Amino acid sequence: MTEFAAQNGFGADNYDAFHRWSVEKQEAFWSALWSYGAVIGDQGARVLENPDAMPGANYFPDAKISFAENLMRRTGPEPALIFRGEDKVAMTWSFDDLHEAVSKLQQMFHEMGIGKGDRIAAMMPNLPHTIACMLAANSIGAIWSSCSPDFGEQGVLDRFGQIEPSLFIACDGYWYNGKPIDVGAKVESVAVQLGCPVLLVPYLETGALPAGNIHAWPDVMEAHTAKQITFERLPFDHPLYILFSSGTTGIPKCIVHGQGGLLLQHIKEQALHCDMRRGDRVFYFTTCGWMMWNWLVSALAVEATVMLFDGSPFAPGPEVLFDFAEQEGITFFGTSAKFIDALRNHGLRSTDSHDLKSLRTLASTGSPLAPENFAYAYDAIKPEMHLASISGGTDIAACFVGGVPWKPVFDGEIQGPMLAMDTQVWDDDGQSVQGEKGELVCARPFPSMPVGFWNDPDGSKYHDAYFARFDNVWCHGDFAEWTSRGGMVIHGRSDATLNPGGVRIGTAEIYNQVERMVEIEEALCIGQQWQSDTRIVLFVRLTGGVNLTDELQAEIRSRIKIGASPRHVPAVIVPVADIPRTKSGKITELAVRDIVHGREVKNREALANPEALALFARIPALQT
């Protein structure tokens, strides 16, 4: 960041001025970033068309690039991809190995008649093979979409059935928590209903092939000879990925992202905000069904080695990911806020057990990182590192706020807005506010706004999702607040905010108080419609052996009253054995709210543990 800023006349002593320039002089910023990131392709004459339109702004309208070509710029025998599948499987692919696999896959796709604009869908673990398939798809202009193999059959069809893929890529199974999970029957059934051929990647090595039009990975590799890859250079906004909303309130939305916008956003975030460099070893704990997988793969564009893990991060024990980090010299370690919280509850102290001398950055996302977990990370993981809490979303496949290497880190705060993102907090009247809670918005365009939604010909669904609340302004759906130090606190999703007495309260403010109590493993909070108002209901998953006594309830309420405010105190506290969450690990407040109010949860397939919903139905304490 310091190097790039200096090239544009700024010093490391004033991030606010540098950020303001990046927002107000977008053409200069993005053109400079194109050069700094050494983007391969034809930039064209124009940088930004319709700069005041959201949607409608058009970045680099004359450009021609290939996303895959930019990620595959490096060759040689050095490791490109290093994989661990729990403690069961380990593999390393060199940059030359990656090129060889992509070349052979590209030949296969051509033989199958797959081309520009066709969709390739994958239900895959986080394997090197998955990345090779994605790069081969993009190299010919096909559109990539993926999910993880733990999705149920209907969950897969709810996603891929909408986009009608020309090829379905799947594995024979996967490992989780030390156990092999065979998915052969699911692959066969999904393929029949999608009506397309299958490329099957053996991971469990069961030797069994599902029935149907099946191409086995080993056969494809053997049938072709590696040759020079041909990269199809296409317009900046040519569709690259189709990502899916969580789908907890209905059929998932199909969000189409363009190749150029994601390439530039990820170069900006990784090279500048995360300080990634050639030869770094970059890890993010993710599945192929979370946007952080797409983000992680982009680290190849800064010529880093991408570190992959698939399976449970607690198998065989909570130290497994730090074993990986120590053994392979990981420099950037990304994970979820829930994982850091779980490590603290397990009492893991990698400072006492692991040598993480290579680690420079620890990134956290998925949900707000609780203030006590900032202190835990610096005390128990590594004191000398950059702890970067980041926040964005599948909708933009990037971040609005995140780590800023020049600024100090404060407990409970995201450091600041990302470069070239006009991130603001607005009140209900559409006025920008500081020190008050409101809607997180982006007041100017940015290049990773979606190209649109799939099967939305007039753009109405896309418009209603982000631009209906405030005209010509991206409204993201987060309830947020700027602090006096210029940092941001995310208080939860706007649609999950609580409104007792008409006052908006963020659920994260309550979680921050109760989840630091040793008696509580996890919490979920909703607003229940009650007697012409809303009352706060707090569900708690208690530590083993703990009961919800009157004394513990009093302690919970006291903690919330003192740490947040009297308005945050729940009217009812209910113990539950489990809390439902999405496949990417986020708790599902909206689904629980629907169950409590007797409404149908429309898409249980989107949940990792849908059986947990039954725990919230017809609870006697919520009927009186």
- CATH code, domain with 241: 3.40.50.980
**Domain presence at residue 482:** no
Is residue 173 helix, strand or coil? strand
Q: Which of residues 265, 300, 331 is at a domain's end?
A: 265
Instruction: Give, in order, the Cα–Cα distances in Å from 446 to each of 78, 188, 426.
Output: 35, 41, 18
**Domain presence at residue 530:** yes
Q: Which of residues 238, 265, 292 is at a domain's end?
A: 265
**Domain presence at residue 137:** yes
Give the pLDDT score at 252: 87
Question: Which of 417, 283, 285 has its CA nearest to residue 340?
Answer: 285
Question: Which of 396, 395, 322, 399 has its CA nearest to residue 364?
Answer: 399
- Reported as a single tens digit per residue, the pLDDT across 510-537 is 998 998 899 999 999 999 988 878 899 9
Residue 551: exposed, middle, or buried by beta-carbon count in 10 A (0-12, 13-18, 19+)?
Answer: exposed
- Reported as a single tens digit per residue, the pLDDT across 479-520 is 999 999 999 999 888 888 887 877 778 888 899 899 889 999
* pLDDT higher than threshold 90 for residue 600: no
Q: What pairs with residue 120 in β-bridges?
A: 144, 167
Instruction: Determine the Cα–Cα distance for residues 208 and 275; give it in Å rounded to an integer.
Output: 45
The structure tokens 């994958």 sit at: 122
Q: How many helices, marked H, and strands, marked E, lie in the chain?
A: 19, 32
Q: Cα 282 to chain center, whole Å?
A: 15
Share the mean pLDDT of the chain: 94
The mean pLDDT of 460-474, rounded to a whole number, is 95
Q: Which amino acid is at 614?
A: A
Give the pLDDT score at 245: 86
Percent of the chain topping pLDDT 90: 85
The mean pLDDT of 424-441, rounded to a whole number, is 96
SS3 labels along 82-130: EEEECCCEEEEEEHHHHHHHHHHHHHHHHHCCCCCCCEEEEECCCCHHH
Instruction: Determine the Cα–Cα distance for residues 596 and 536; give it in Å rounded to an integer.
Output: 12
Instruction: Determine the Cα–Cα distance for residues 352 and 490; give it in Å rounded to an integer.
Output: 32
Question: Which of 154, 144, 394 has its CA nearest to residue 286?
Answer: 394
Instruction: Determine the Cα–Cα distance for residues 371 and 357; give it in Å rounded to an integer.
Output: 25
The structure tokens 């509850």 sit at: 345
Give the pLDDT score at 375: 95
Instruction: Give, in order, the Cα–Cα distances in Å from 20 to each of 10, 23, 37, 350.
Output: 11, 5, 21, 39
* pLDDT higher than threshold 70 for residue 331: yes
Backbone angles phi, psi at 554, to 5 degrees: -65, -40
Give 509 or 20, the one with higher predicted confidence. 20
CA angle 61, 65, 70 (to 5 degrees): 140
**Domain presence at residue 37:** no
Contact 16, 250 (CB under 8 A): no
The mean pLDDT of 201-217, rounded to a whole number, is 88
- Reported as a single tens digit per residue, the pLDDT across 159-201 is 999 999 999 999 999 999 999 999 999 999 999 999 999 999 9
- Reported as a single tens digit per residue, the pLDDT across 566-593 is 889 999 999 999 999 988 788 999 899 9
* pLDDT higher than threshold 70 for residue 247: no
Percent of the chain topping pLDDT 70: 99
The mean pLDDT of 260-271, rounded to a whole number, is 98
**Domain presence at residue 310:** no
The mean pLDDT of 309-327, rounded to a whole number, is 95
Q: How many CB atoms lie within 10 A of CB 554?
A: 11
**With the CA atoms of 396, 367, 332 and 521 taken in that order, what torsion angle do they form, in degrees rounded to the nearest 10?**
-160
How many CA atoms lie less than 13 Å away from 140 in the CB half-sphere? Answer: 25
Q: Which residues span the domain enclosing 119?
A: 95-265
Instruction: Determine the Cα–Cα distance for residues 418 and 211; give it in Å rounded to an integer.
Output: 49
H/E stretch holding 351? helix 350-353
Q: Which of residues 224, 239, 265 is at a domain's end?
A: 265
The mean pLDDT of 598-618, rounded to a whole number, is 88
**DSSP secondary structure letters along 266-330:** HHIIIIIIS---TT-EEEE---TTSHHHHHHHGGGGGTPEEEEEES-TTSS-TTHHHHHHHHHT-
Give the pLDDT score at 586: 85
Give the pLDDT score at 240: 98
Give 45 or 599, the one with higher predicted confidence. 45
Contact 44, 116 (CB under 8 A): no
CATH number reported for the structural domain that contains residue 541 in this entry: 3.30.300.30
Contact 263, 65 (CB under 8 A): yes
Number of domains the chain contains: 2
Give the pLDDT score at 571: 94
- Reported as a single tens digit per residue, the pLDDT across 135-161 is 999 999 999 999 999 988 988 999 999
- Reported as a single tens digit per residue, the pLDDT across 359-406 is 999 999 988 898 999 999 999 999 999 999 999 999 999 999 999 999
The mean pLDDT of 48-76, rounded to a whole number, is 97
Is residue 496 helix, strand or coil? helix
**DSSP secondary structure letters along 570-620:** -SEEEE-S---BBTTS-B-HHHHHHHHTTPPPS-GGGBS-GGGGGGGTT-G
**Domain presence at residue 433:** no
Give the pLDDT score at 343: 94
Contacts of 137 (CB under 8 A, 6+ apart): 109, 114, 120, 143, 144
**Domain presence at residue 578:** yes
Instruction: Determine the Cα–Cα distance for residues 386 and 576; give it in Å rounded to an integer.
Output: 36
Q: Is 279 left (phi over 0), alpha (psi -120 to 50) or beta?
A: left
Strand pairing category for 305-310 and 79-85: parallel
Instruction: Determine the Cα–Cα distance for residues 560 and 540; give it in Å rounded to an integer.
Output: 14
**Domain presence at residue 56:** no
Give the pLDDT score at 248: 58
Q: What pairs with residue 283 in β-bridges?
A: 307, 333
Give the pLDDT score at 249: 59
